[in-house]
Amino acid sequence: METKQLALITGVGKATGIGLEVARQLAGMNYRVIITSRKQETATQLAGILISDGLDVVPIALDVTDEPMVKAVADQINQQYGKLDVLINNATLFPDQYDTTSVELADIRNVFESNFIGSWSTVKHFTLLLRKSEHPRIVNVSSGSGSFGGKGYSLVNPWRDIISAYSISKAALNAFTLKAALDLKPDGILVNAATPGLTATYDTFSDFGSRPVSEGARSIVLAATLPKYGPTGQFFKDGEVIAW
């Protein structure tokens, strides 16, 4: 039976992304990290970057919008490792600027399938594995743009004056975080949301004061490595609780 701390990160899609940097930092803390992408070749290529640095990283194909695939991956991990210690819901469609009345609703559904329903699906199917951990944690990667308060960009202070479907989906993800935290508290599973803030995952973000990806990823890592019996049902940035 696997004894090393095992983390799974969804939506690891590019070398400059938050997901891969979170994997790098957790693997550097002696975690075995499963990184997932929609395509196996993408996961394998990105895992190779970290494996070449001597880190313990496993690539698996996973599309969080495909529920049978989510269940199949959960079964695969159960057979291979027997547990899961950390689930990080990082898969996200971003950005968008859909207009309220001219939008194709199919596009909105795609955003919610990835950013919200997909996270619910992984929690549904991976909870059995998390219950086998001595210290289980779930981190939903959210955004300050889905918050109603706090400093910086939010729903009431939108970035570039745009409230996107992305932002609305993150508000829903925050609400789901509260529900899951309550439902899974008897199992000892910590469920929190974390925002990396505006980070330089895209070159154009540098024009808006973005910070290095390593700093944004650290915010998620701190939520993923909370102590046993630590806080649950909270929204974190850089280890500090922020407003919903």
Tokens representing 91 are: 């898969």
Instruction: Return the pLDDT at 1.
Output: 46
C-alpha–C-alpha distance, residues 19 and 194, integer Å = 13
Q: Has 71 been annotated as catalytic?
A: no
| % of residues, the chain, pLDDT over 70 | 93
Taking only the tens place, the pLDDT of each residue in 132-152 is: 999 999 999 999 999 998 678
Architecture of the domain defined by 6-241:
3-Layer(aba) Sandwich (3.40)
Please indicate whether residue 128 or residue 1 has the higher confidence score (pLDDT): 128
> If you average pLDDT over each of 39-48, 88-97, 152-161, 202-211, which comes out highest?
39-48
- 8 Å CB contact between 62 and 40: no
C-alpha–C-alpha distance, residues 81 and 129, integer Å = 9
Catalytic one among 31, 98, 166, 237? 166
Tokens representing 53 are: 């640095």
Tokens representing 13 are: 């899609």
Confidence bin at 199 (pLDDT 50/70/90):
low
Is it the case that residue 21 has pLDDT exceeding 80?
A: yes
CA 191 to chain centre: 12
Catalytic one among 31, 83, 170, 237? 170
Q: Is the dihedral of CA 111, 112, 117, 119 positive or negative?
A: positive
Instruction: Return the pLDDT at 194.
Output: 97
> CA 167 → CA 76, 93, 144, 159, distances in Å?
33, 11, 8, 10
Q: What is the mean pLDDT of residues 16-29?
A: 97
Q: Is the dihedral of CA 67, 72, 78, 81 positive or negative?
A: negative
Q: Has 202 been annotated as catalytic?
A: no
C-alpha–C-alpha distance, residues 181 and 233, integer Å = 5
Taking only the tens place, the pLDDT of each residue in 85-108 is: 999 999 999 767 888 999 999 999
The 3-state DSSP class for residue 85 equals: coil
Mean pLDDT of the chain: 93
Q: In terms of C-beta density within 10 A (0-12 exposed, 13-18 middle, 19 or more buried), how is residue 20 classed? A: buried
Is it the case that residue 44 has pLDDT exceeding 80?
A: yes
Q: What is the mean pLDDT of residues 113-126?
A: 98
Is it the case that residue 205 has pLDDT exceeding 60?
A: no
| pTM of the predicted protein model | 0.94
Q: What is the mean pLDDT of residues 68-74?
A: 98
